[in-house]
Amino acid sequence: MNTRSEIPARLRQMPIVAVLRADRAQAYAPVVQVLIDEGVVSIESTLTTPDTLAHLPQLRELAAGRADIGIGTITSVEQADAAIAAGADYLVTPVTDVEIIKRAVAADVPVFPGAMTPTEVNAAWQAGATAVKLFPAGTVGASFGSHLRGPFPHLEFVPSGGIGLDEIEPWLRAGAAAVSLGSPLLGDALRGGSTDTLRERIRRTVAVVDQARVPR
């Protein structure tokens, strides 16, 4: 029996999760296309956007095996079951709900549950989290990740919430498996903004990741 799903290989390769939150799911496709073209291959579409699950097959077809499409802002077992049934490549939650984690583990679907305190982090990890989503990470800074590695040396974590592009490198150097980015990466692209500007931000993000991989 599985006890923990591994971090997807694509996320290991490019440790950025692009978080899509829009007024309507129809806005996703052109943004997803640019993300994939520019090398960001882990994309989280959120349930706070209407009809997200209904559009998941379209996004998976657009990804065509080049990217992982996950479902985020899952807050109930029923939502987790629906996302798994719809073919989500991974699940993301803003909270530590052990039952949601168990559902994902049983289905061998990677799950990134949200946590902040050491108690929550430990509960999520012991329940089988693929990696713990530190949320809202912007309130604590990258040093928090380094401190967690003391009592939890094997912990995999992904900071999310309020992280700017200039904070990617500190978090990765603090041991983060990946960094989750929303509006600092996407800007106004989901509201009809310039795709050229989006491409520039993605390229800057990829360059920051490459720099973080250079040993100091």
Q: For the beta carbon of residue 131, count every other beta carbon within 10 angstroms.
A: 24
Rounded Cα gap, residues 168 and 215, in angstroms: 15
Helix (H), strand (E), coil (C) string for 81-96: HHHHHHCCCCEECCCC
Residues carrying an active site annotation? 44, 133
- CA separation, residue 180 to residues 57, 73, 134 (Å): 23, 13, 10
Q: Which long-range contacts (CB under 8 A, 24 or more apart) does 148-156 make?
A: 148/118, 148/121, 149/174, 149/175, 151/118, 152/118, 152/121, 152/122, 152/125, 155/121, 155/125, 156/7, 156/129, 156/130, 156/131, 156/132
Beta bridge partners of 27: none
